Amino acid sequence: MERRTTILIISFGVVFVLIAASFIIRNAMTPPYQKIRESYPYVVVLDSNEKLEPGDGMVSPNKEYRLKLDGNLILERTSSKQVLWTSRDEDDEGGAVKCSMQSDGNIVLRRKDGSPTWRTNTHKNSGAQLILDNGGQIAVISSTDKVAVWLAGLPRGNYDRRSKRTSLEFPIRGIFYYPWFPETWTVESQHVFYKVSDGYYSSGDGFIQRKHVETLHHIRTDIAIASWFGPNSHLDRARITNMMVETSKFYENKKNSDSVVKWTVYHEEEFRSNPSINEIRQDLEYLKKWFVWRDTWAYIDDRPVIFVYNEGNCDVTRRWVKANSNKEWYIVLKVFGNDEDCPYQPDGWHQYGPSTGVQRHRGLSYVIAPGFWRADENEPASPRFSKEEWYSMVQNMVKSNEPFQLIISFNEWGEGTAIESAEEWSSSSGHGYYIDALHDHPTNRQKQPNSDNDDDKKPLISSGGEIITLTNIGQANNTVEDNNSRRDQKREYNNNSRRD
């Protein structure tokens, strides 16, 4: 009897261990966040003013990857000769006989007659280097902080739809973000009007990337919506990756934060080219390959989020819903007249109309913009709102409790919609009063429980210590406050936006 009892105890113990091990393994296979190794030992392939010629190449320190020039730049596995990346695209016939790292940081492939066949578009990065690392990536890195300003090869992780993710909960505060500087400090050769506190920076600058993440957190951002014109546009792989990596680093040692910045993209190529269902799917696959698997990508209802900048017709909804036939993505389209009558409906709707200071669509979104003045226009389409007006706009947005509460924009300087710090709206906090107002007004979800959040019953004191007298912004001529219907909502700046 004693022996039988011992056997039973041992058996139950073995079963318990097996169940526990199964649970641990299962959860290890589908972690909430992937443990990502971002940096690997690397070899410098090209320094400034150096070049590769046919047959030249370089092997990674671990001997697993080779980068060579053979009519195109080719990255391959050394053992199997499997091509992992090539500079050749659909319109490129190859034939390059020289790969040069120019003194401005731009890599250019040229034919025998000197004509270019391909380039990285990384000019204005004097002293940059081309590297190949042990993770199978090639990158152009800056001479100052060694941050990648262009990259290709193998991503650092893999997308797995089964992986557990932390989904955002409504109401969600979002802000439109533009990672395309210094290319767009001018519009039609006209420089932006405002004096940016951090100067006319580069989106590839590591210091700026870190500061932007800190500021996005400071204004209690839930989702940063990065302008994106499709694969390989505006050095997207490096710039968006860097912002997501810096965001992960920022939160590594932070606990109990009332908001955590997540990222998605604003698919702007939709408006330009009306991509086919297959082209949309290709774009979504590209995003999954490079970004969506990261812990800093935004999810709603356990699905990755994407915002779309679209024109107004039901063909838009049809193409995007059909491209997402497996319901893998949470798609947020831009409203248009009679969109509720379309047979195909996305998961969410938003508006983007900065020439109108406030636009509310009940049950959908509440959008505010501080003003709208394109650099190539003599007069603003919407003059800048005062401190008092902006505080009132932010407060009203929070009170609306709409699912998406969006700000246009963090740094669209070319259109004059940025809230990023500038001399023209400086404050004693150092952030500027547009930033101060967002920091001072968390969403209803972000507010601490049991706190006195009745803003109507107490004086409003800004981050700079000033008492703010609120203005009834709903009476302003250039606002559309509290729309009960989406019908006939037109694109406010159809003829004067550089997105056209």
- Domain ranges for the chain: 42-153, 172-483
62-85 per-position pLDDT tens digit: 999 999 999 999 999 999 999 999
Residue 364: C-alpha distances to residues 170, 341, 360, 367, 405 (Å):
11, 16, 8, 10, 9
User: What is the C-alpha separation between 404 and 264, in angstroms, rounded?
Assistant: 14
**Model pLDDT, residue 234:** 84
Asked if residues 286 and 233 have their Cβ atoms less than 8 Å apart, the reply is no
According to the model, what pLDDT value does residue 471 have?
54
The residues facing 359 across adjacent strands are 367, 480
pLDDT at 453 over 90: no
Neighbour-count burial for 412-448, b at 16+ CB within 10 Å, e otherwise? bbbbbbbbbbbeebebebebbbbbbbbbbbbbebeee
Question: Is residue 4's pLDDT more than 60?
Answer: no
Beta-strand relationship, 172-177 and 223-228: parallel
Q: In 90-175, which ranges are continuous DSSP H helix?
A: none
Whether residue 494 is predicted with pLDDT greater than 90 in this model: the reply is: no
Range 242-251 average pLDDT: 95
- The DSSP element (H or E) to which 17 belongs, if any, is helix 2-29
Inter-residue contact 101 to 116 (CB < 8 Å): no
Evaluate if residue 197 carries a pLDDT over 60. Answer: yes
Q: How far is CA 90 from CA 25, 99, 125, 270, 473, in A?
A: 43, 19, 28, 21, 52
Amino acid at site 479: T
Between 98-107, 232-241, 457-466, the lowest mean confidence (pLDDT) is in: 457-466
The whole-angstrom separation of Cα 17 and Cα 382 is: 66
pLDDT of residue 467: 52
Cα–Cα distance, 315 to 292 (Å, whole number)? 26
Cα diameter, the chain: 97
Looking at 31-45, 121-135, 464-478, which range is the least confident one?
Answer: 464-478
Helix (H, G, I), strand (E, B) or coil at 37: coil
- In the predicted model, what is the mean pLDDT of the chain? 85
Once rounded to an integer, what is the mean pLDDT over residues 282-302?
97
β-bridge mates for residue 74, sequence order: 68, 86
pLDDT band of residue 461 (cuts 50, 70, 90) is low
Directed axis angle between helix 277-287 and helix 314-323, to 10°? 50
Give me the mean pLDDT over the 440-458 stretch.
66
For residue 98, what are the β-bridge partners? 110
Please report which helix (H) or strand (E) contains residue 286, including its range.
Answer: helix 277-287
CATH 3.30.60.50 for domain 172-483: no
42-153 sits in which CATH class? mainly beta
For residue range 356-377, what is the model confidence (pLDDT) as tens digits? Answer: 999 999 999 999 999 999 999 9
pLDDT at position 469 is 53
pLDDT of residue 164: 78
324, 287 Cβ separation under 8 angstroms: no
Non-local (6+) Cβ contacts of 381 within 8 A are 354, 355, 372, 373, 374, 492, 493, 496
Tell me, rounded to whole angstroms, the distance of Cα 101 from its chain centroid. Answer: 29
Nearest to 180 by CA among 131, 229, 220, 249: 229
CB 52 within 8 A of CB 98: yes
E-strand stretches of 337-423: 348-350, 358-361, 365-368, 404-407
Closest CA to 220 of 172, 253, 280, 185: 172
Given a cut of 90, whether residue 167 has pLDDT beyond it is yes
pLDDT at residue 257 in the model: 65
**How far is Cα of residue 378 from the mean position of the Cα atoms in its chain?**
31
Does residue 203 have a cis peptide bond before it, meaning omega lies within 30 degrees of 0? Answer: no
* 393-440 residue pLDDT tens: 999 999 999 999 999 999 999 999 999 999 999 999 999 999 999 999
**Lowest pLDDT segment from 22-36, 61-75, 122-136, 416-430:** 22-36
Q: What is the mean pLDDT of residues 448-468?
A: 50
Would you say the CATH fold of 172-483 matches that of 42-153? no
Backbone angles phi, psi at 107, to 5 degrees: -95, 130
Where b means 16+ CB within 10 Å and e means fewer, 110-127 reads beeeeeebbbbbbbebee
Per-position b or e across 308-328, b if 16+ CB within 10 A of its CB:
bbbebeeebbebbbebbeeee
Per-residue burial over 265-295, b = 16 or more CB atoms within 10 Å of its CB, e = otherwise: bbbbbbbeeebeeebbeebbebbbbbbbbbb
As a whole number of Å, the end-to-end CA separation of the chain is 85
Q: What is the pTM of this model?
A: 0.86
Report residue 13: phi and psi, to 5°: -65, -45
DSSP 170-217: SSEEEEEE---TTTTSEETTEEPSS-BTT-S--TT-HHHHHHHHHHHH
Q: Could you tell me the CA-to-CA distances from 382 to 350, 369, 374 in Å, in that order?
A: 20, 9, 10
More confident residue, 311 or 438: 438
Whether the per-residue pLDDT at 7 is higher than 80: the answer is no
